[in-house]
């Protein structure tokens, strides 16, 4: 009944502007005998609100603005913190987890609880958080907020439950990891330094326990003071004073000496036997000048001092330290010193932090470093230390999405299954060589391919003109293929051409792409008002790229009558492939040239996507062409259409001709629904340029869509380069072509059969329909001209038109017809000449469906309508938003049905049922903060979507309840039960006479019984959503049981090990006693009783 009322509402309402009345009673709208009426449409809709739920799935790319790094050497997982409070945890390919602190405070430091499945984060808001990693989605177990002191450094000894926390005031606090409360044991700065010292030592910049004795804590202060604190005796063992500020400290594994890095670019080595002065001071990159002075050097921000079994020489690895004279023209460096060999690795970006990966988690064993993880501001690399030339490992994560800034995105789910292997095989030839042959060292966690996977591809366009294809199947991301669109053009010389005036930095930046995975046709729109058409081939080719140039700028003097425009393009010769000579009729002034110059010689093209056609808009009257705002391509028709704020161009890419080139006003003919103001008279043609802009005060984002999606600075410079002499009257009358869609439809109300059509949507909410007459025979198609022309206004909506889609009368989505792919450079078979194979999804594909007509879904920035073709009756109307506007709308398939998915500028994600436009979901997901999200947000089939969450990261999400329910099975496990490596046997004498760290009981010192409680005002404990005892068993199921079993085995093994050691000691003592007794017996046996 509700559905029937909605049909009646659609019948009784009249569309705005007095056009496209849904009533079927008028003579013009009378349906044919076979055409259905609105009363005949009965679609059984299956989607309900319970089918939808918003959930973030996975984040790809390089962590934006990284701050810190940590590695678990047993679990072999790595964590990266960011300035915005994000944490990325990486393991083997497929194990990639993103978590976010609610506060958004920068992450200052990360500390793994090694092999315990937990992570401690220290944030800039002076809060410590304990994260549980024994579940697929990490969660916070505890938080501890410091109220009176700022956190500067944290240290967690291996297999300890007590975390040392250094503060800006120079104090050191101790936190119990299990309960996450402060101990009463505090090392105050004034007790750590000498009483005679009046100056404050500065913040704590380093904390570490001695490898020789865990009861000794080394505290480094920023001023250059280093103190070893005896935790048991609660006093200082020694103090070291140095003139230069300390940045980092690193122990030798034997615990007898350590190394410091300083702000003057020096490294100092200290021996515990004599702490009065360093035993060695080196300036690795500083030379002695002629006058005897040292070169001034940049600070060494971090140093790692590691020993190796295979070499008597240790590794000294540090960042920074270059002399100021040399560093001006040099990039950031990482230096590896091994014996007398010094290797300097130059980096493309500043170093944020680095870590040396070692085989053992024990600090008192030979470290044996095998790799260095280097976190840069915009990259992430791992250096192989086991080879003399120090190659880097091939990174399995998609960390190079931002290699050039992302300017547009496209998302294709349920692709043909053969497309990914083909793209991968071609793209494999593009990969760089020279990588380390060893396996990627960050190999922790487990991940299995989920049961509900299907081929997915993400396409990204970039500011330098490159286009990247990514395999996005099973919530992973892997590079498939890279296409460089700039290779189509000649390199512009400095000061030459118009490209520099149009866009100073990125003349090839990609604005939008259109891809047909079935026919493998690919089309790219660039910022310099150019369109490039590519065909896919498995073979290389040496071909000439065809170039067409279009003058798509109209004045009041340039109006072409509909009768002329229907069959004739604006070129005098439609088959002309070259620009008109300067001064020819209609070509404007002498600068009627495109922004870029296409290569005019045969070009060798490798296998993959090969450029076939380039269409460029020309400069006119000294003004650059307006950027392209809409694009569509159809392989079955052989047509390409694009539009901007001046008009529409249709290209026949089979015949390589311009089929149509019309101003937006000319598309209406005499049926213009708007009362437009006449233009003010102008004196000369120079000032009457047809270049116009949208209204400055217009609420919609058409203005922004007409700009390049590159950085704001480039947008601003481009905006300034546009004409500012256009009057406000001209702006008000300008209308952009905002969306285009080829498809089988009914060009006029009276049509009985569907034909090829082009649907056109404008920024004023008008929908136009252009029927196309295409020869059916292949020979005629390549020779006979195609005719097309506007048939009048179909519909009007509020706001700019964003999307078209077509449904059959059963509610199923009608796909656009396409040509089956064939290799254009494949070998010819003389017996079987190649012919085009077309696949058509027309509503008239069967005799039964011939009388069905079809439904057209039209969505604008403000509302959506469903109309019945060919009668053009409006069946359903829904006003989506009044106070905001839509940024993206797509008709997608979800749960074996279809719906309209919308993303609004106020952050709401909505879904509407089809065809009734019944609201199914409306969730306030993401308030729009910048234009990057607006330009990159896209929906696809299967209930998935993505957007660029930062300049370097792609965020994927699902709006399907089914996928949300199955997400846990698709994500990787971060924690896997692994036996902790056993510590090396030190031998009896070393363990008996040396300082045995295992005898140190922190509980006795730091527990409440011994140290008391800390002041409540110092820090506030905040419990997490999970219970206190759930950390080790939160994973549940088999993993939890295995974890418990592992812990029990560890405890049993420790007890057995202690028993074995005690037994060995007793046996040694017994043997010693027996030997001594035997010697005494031999000595005394021959003596008389009185000689004893």
Residue with tokens 């600068």: 591
d(CA 950, CA 538): 35
pLDDT above 70 (res 169): yes
Structure-block tokens of residue 190: 């004034």
On whether the pTM is more than 0.85, the answer is no
CA distance linking residue 223 with residue 246, whole number of Å: 7
Residue 1079, sorted as left (phi over 0), alpha (psi -120 to 50) or beta, turns out to be alpha
Terminal Cα-to-Cα distance of the chain (whole angstroms): 122
Q: Write out the E strands in 527-656.
A: 530-537, 541-543, 546-550, 603-605, 608-617, 630-634, 639-643, 647-652
| Bridge partners (DSSP) listed for residue 855 | 807, 868
Of the pLDDT bands very low, low, confident and very high (cuts 50, 70, 90), residue 1048 is: low
Instruction: Give the 3-state secondary structure percentages of the chain, helix then strand then coil, rounded to 5.
Output: 15, 35, 45
149 close to 1047: Cβ distance less than 8 angstroms: no
Q: What pLDDT does residue 952 have?
A: 96
Per-residue confidence at 26, pLDDT binned at 50, 70, 90?
very low
Segment 525-535 shows an average pLDDT of 96
Residue 135 backbone phi and psi in degrees, to 5: -145, 160
Of residues 448 and 738, more confidently modeled: 738
Cα 946 to Cα 411: distance, rounded to the nearest angstrom: 8
Lowest pLDDT segment from 88-102, 795-809, 989-1003? 989-1003
For residue 370, what pLDDT is reported?
95
CA distance 148 to 1014: 13
Chain-centroid distance, C-alpha 353: 21
Region 399-415: what's the mean pLDDT? 94
SS (H, E, C) 424-462: HHHHHHHCCCCCCCCCCCCCCCECCCCCCCCCEEEEEEE
User: Going by C-beta distance under 8 Å and a sequence separation of 6 or more, which residues neighbour residue 127?
Assistant: 103, 105, 143, 144, 145, 146, 1022
Residues in CB range of 62: below 8 A, 6 or more apart: 378, 379, 380, 399, 400, 401, 402, 952, 953
CA distances to 596, 665, 670, 722, 793 from 674, rounded to whole Å, are: 37, 10, 11, 27, 11
Which pLDDT band, with edges at 50, 70 and 90, does 729 fall under?
A: very low
User: Which is more confident, 670 or 51?
Assistant: 51
Question: If pLDDT is split at 50, 70 and 90, which confidence band does 837 have?
Answer: confident
Residue among 506, 515, 477, 514 nearest 405 (CA): 506
Find where tokens 């003057």 sit. Answer: 264
pLDDT at 526: 95
Distance, CA of 814 to CA of 742 (rounded, Å): 12
Average pLDDT over residues 451-469: 90
**Higher confidence at residue 1085 or residue 770?**
770
- Report whether 960 contacts 943 (CB < 8 A): yes
* Residue range 147-158: mean pLDDT, rounded: 94
**If you average pLDDT over every residue of the chain, what do you get?**
81
pLDDT per residue as tens digits for the range 311-360 = 889 999 999 998 887 655 678 999 999 988 999 999 999 999 999 999 89
Apex 753 CA angle, 748 and 757, nearest 5: 55
What pLDDT was estimated at residue 523? 97
Span 582-626, pLDDT tens digits: 333 344 443 678 889 999 999 999 999 999 999 999 988 888 899
CA distances from 252 to 213, 286, 315, 385 (A): 13, 24, 10, 18
Mean pLDDT of 1068-1085: 73
- For 387, the token pair is 């080879």
pLDDT tens per residue across span 384-393:
999 989 999 9
- 72 has a pLDDT exceeding 60: yes
Q: Are 508 and 491 in contact, with CB atoms under 8 Å apart?
A: no
Can you list the alpha helix ranges (DSSP code H) found in 251-328?
A: 324-327
The 3-class SS string of 470-506 reads EECHHHCCEEEEEEEHHHHECCCCCCCCCHHHHCCCC
**What pLDDT shows up at residue 707?**
39
Cβ neighbours around 298 below 10 Å, total: 20
- Residue 1084 CA to residue 1074 CA, distance in Å, equals 15
Instruction: Please give the Cα distance from 415 to 480 (Å, whole number).
Output: 14
Candidates 569, 558, 591; CA nearest to 688 is 558
Question: Looking at residue 494, what is its pLDDT?
Answer: 60
The pLDDT of residue 847 is above 70 = no
Burial of 49 (0-12, 13-18, 19+ CB in 10 A): middle
Burial of 1019 (0-12, 13-18, 19+ CB in 10 A): buried
Mean pLDDT of 366-373: 94
The share of the chain scoring above pLDDT 90, in percent, equals 57
Give me the mean pLDDT over the 857-885 stretch.
94
Residues 718, 720, 721, 722, Cα dihedral to 10°: 100
Averaged pLDDT, 401-411: 95
How far apart, in whole angstroms, are the C-alpha atoms of residue 725 and residue 916? 46
Lowest mean pLDDT among 360-364, 497-501, 729-733: 729-733
pLDDT in tens, 634-669: 999 999 999 999 999 999 999 999 999 998 888 887
Peptide bond into 409 cis (omega under 30): no
Q: What is the pLDDT of residue 694?
A: 25
Stronger pLDDT, 951 or 559, i.e. the higher one? 951
Q: What is the pLDDT of residue 450?
A: 65
**So what's the pLDDT on residue 1010?**
78
* Residue 562 clears pLDDT 50, i.e. is over it: no
**Which tokens is 273 given?**
């036997």
417: its two tokens: 């299954």
Whether the pLDDT of residue 120 is over 90: the answer is yes
């Amino acid at each position: 009944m509700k559905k029937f009322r909605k049909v009646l509402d659609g019948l009784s309402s009249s569309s705005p502007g007095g056009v496209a009345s849904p009533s079927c009673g008028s003579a013009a709208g009378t349906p044919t005998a076979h055409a259905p009426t609105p009363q005949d449409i009965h679609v059984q809709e299956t989607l309900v609100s319970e089918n939808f739920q918003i959930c973030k799935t996975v984040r790809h790319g390089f962590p934006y603005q990284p701050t810190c790094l940590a590695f678990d050497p047993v679990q072999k997982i790595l964590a990266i913190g960011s300035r915005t409070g994000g944490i990325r945890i990486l393991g083997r390919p497929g194990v990639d987890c993103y978590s976010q602190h609610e506060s958004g405070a920068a992450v200052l430091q990360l500390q793994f609880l090694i092999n315990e499945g937990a992570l401690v984060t220290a944030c800039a808001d002076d809060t410590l958080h304990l994260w549980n990693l024994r579940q697929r989605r990490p969660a916070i177990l505890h938080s501890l907020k410091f109220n009176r002191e700022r956190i500067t450094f944290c240290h967690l000894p291996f297999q300890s439950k007590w975390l040392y926390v250094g503060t800006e005031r120079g104090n050191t606090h101790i936190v119990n990891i299990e309960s996450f409360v402060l101990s009463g044991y505090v090392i105050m700065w004034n007790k750590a330094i000498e009483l005679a010292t009046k100056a404050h030592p500065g913040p704590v910049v380093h904390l570490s326990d001695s490898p020789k004795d865990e009861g000794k804590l080394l505290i480094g202060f920023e001023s250059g003071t280093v103190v070893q604190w005896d935790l048991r005796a609660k006093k200082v063992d020694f103090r070291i004073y140095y003139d230069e500020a300390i940045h980092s400290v690193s122990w030798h594994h034997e615990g007898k000496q350590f190394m410091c890095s300083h702000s003057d670019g020096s490294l100092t080595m200290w021996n515990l036997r004599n702490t009065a002065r360093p035993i060695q001071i080196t300036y690795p990159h500083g030379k002695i000048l002629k006058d005897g002075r040292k070169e001034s050097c940049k600070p060494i921000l971090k140093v790692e001092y590691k020993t190796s079994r295979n070499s008597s020489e240790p590794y000294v690895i540090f960042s920074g330290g270059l002399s100021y004279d040399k560093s001006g023209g040099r990039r950031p460096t990482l230096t590896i010193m091994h014996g007398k060999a010094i290797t300097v690795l130059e980096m493309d970006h500043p170093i944020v932090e680095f870590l040396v990966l070692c085989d053992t988690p024990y600090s008192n064993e030979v470290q044996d470093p095998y790799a260095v993880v280097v976190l840069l501001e915009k990259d992430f690399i791992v250096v192989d230390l086991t080879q003399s030339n120090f190659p880097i490992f091939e990174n399995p994560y998609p960390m190079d999405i931002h290699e050039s800034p992302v300017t547009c995105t496209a998302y294709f789910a349920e692709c043909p299954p053969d497309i990914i292997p083909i793209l991968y095989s071609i793209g494999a030839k593009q990969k760089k060589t020279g990588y380390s042959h060893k396996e990627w060292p960050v190999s922790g966690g487990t991940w299995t391919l989920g049961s509900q996977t299907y081929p997915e591809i993400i396409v990204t366009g970039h500011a330098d003109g490159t286009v990247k294809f990514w395999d996005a199947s099973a919530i992973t991301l892997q590079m498939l293929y890279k296409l460089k669109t700039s290779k189509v053009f000649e390199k512009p010389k400095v000061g030459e051409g118009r490209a520099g005036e149009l866009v100073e930095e990125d003349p090839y930046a990609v604005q939008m792409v259109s891809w047909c995975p079935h026919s493998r046709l690919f089309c790219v729109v660039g910022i310099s008002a150019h369109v490039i058409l590519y065909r896919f081939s498995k073979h290389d080719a040496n071909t000439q790229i065809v170039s067409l140039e279009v003058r798509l700028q109209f004045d009041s003097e340039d109006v072409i009558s509909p009768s002329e425009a229907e069959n004739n393009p604006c070129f005098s010769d439609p088959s002309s492939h070259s620009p008109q000579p300067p001064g020819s009729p209609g070509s404007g002034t002498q600068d009627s040239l495109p922004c870029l110059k296409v290569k005019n010689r045969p070009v060798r093209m490798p296998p993959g996507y090969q450029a076939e056609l380039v269409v460029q808009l020309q400069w006119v009257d000294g003004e650059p062409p307006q950027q392209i705002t809409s694009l569509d391509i159809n392989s079955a028709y052989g047509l390409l259409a694009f539009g901007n704020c001046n008009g529409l161009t249709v290209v026949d890419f089979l015949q390589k001709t311009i089929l149509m080139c019309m101003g937006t006003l000319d598309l209406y003919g005499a049926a213009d629904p708007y009362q437009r103001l006449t233009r003010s008279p102008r004196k000369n043609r120079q000032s009457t340029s047809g270049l116009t802009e949208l209204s400055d005060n217009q609420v919609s984002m058409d203005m922004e869509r007409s700009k390049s999606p590159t950085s704001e600075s480039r947008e601003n410079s481009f905006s300034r380069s546009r004409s500012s002499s256009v009057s406000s009257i001209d702006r008000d009358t300008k209308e952009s072509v905002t969306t285009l869609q080829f498809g089988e439809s009914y060009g006029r109300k009276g049509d009985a059969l569907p034909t090829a059509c082009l649907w056109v949507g404008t920024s004023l909410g008008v929908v136009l329909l252009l029927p196309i007459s295409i020869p059916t025979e292949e020979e005629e198609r390549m020779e006979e001209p195609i005719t097309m022309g506007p048939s009048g206004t179909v519909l009007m909506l509020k706001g700019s038109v964003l999307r078209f889609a077509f449904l059959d009368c059963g509610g199923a989505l009608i796909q656009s017809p396409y040509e089956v792919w064939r290799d254009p450079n494949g070998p010819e078979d003389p017996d079987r000449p190649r012919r085009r194979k077309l696949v058509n999804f027309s509503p008239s594909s069967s005799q039964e469906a011939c009388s069905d007509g079809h439904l057209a879904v039209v969505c604008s920035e403000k509302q959506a309508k469903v109309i019945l073709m060919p009668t053009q009756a409006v069946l359903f109307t829904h006003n989506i938003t009044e106070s905001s506007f839509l940024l993206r709308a797509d008709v997608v398939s979800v749960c074996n049905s279809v719906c309209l998915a919308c993303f609004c500028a106020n952050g709401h994600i909505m879904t509407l049922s089809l065809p009734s436009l019944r609201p199914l979901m409306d969730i306030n997901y993401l308030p729009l903060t910048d234009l990057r999200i607006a330009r990159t947000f896209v929906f696809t089939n299967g209930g998935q979507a993505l957007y660029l969450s930062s300049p370097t990261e792609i965020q994927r999400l699902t709006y399907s309840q089914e996928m949300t329910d199955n997400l846990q099975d698709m994500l990787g496990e971060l924690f896997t039960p692994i036996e902790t490596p056993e510590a090396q046997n030190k031998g009896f004498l070393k363990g008996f006479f040396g300082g045995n760290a295992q005898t140190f009981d922190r509980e006795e010192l730091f527990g409440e019984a011994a140290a008391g409680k800390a002041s409540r005002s110092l820090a506030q404990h905040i419990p997490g959503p999970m219970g206190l005892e759930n950390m080790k068993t939160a994973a549940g199921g088999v993993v939890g049981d295995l974890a418990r079993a592992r812990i029990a085995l560890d405890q049993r093994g420790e007890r057995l090990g202690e028993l074995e050691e005690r037994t060995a000691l007793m046996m040694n003592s017994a043997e010693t006693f027996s030997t001594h007794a035997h010697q005494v017996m031999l000595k005394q046996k021959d003596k008389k009783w009185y000689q004893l």
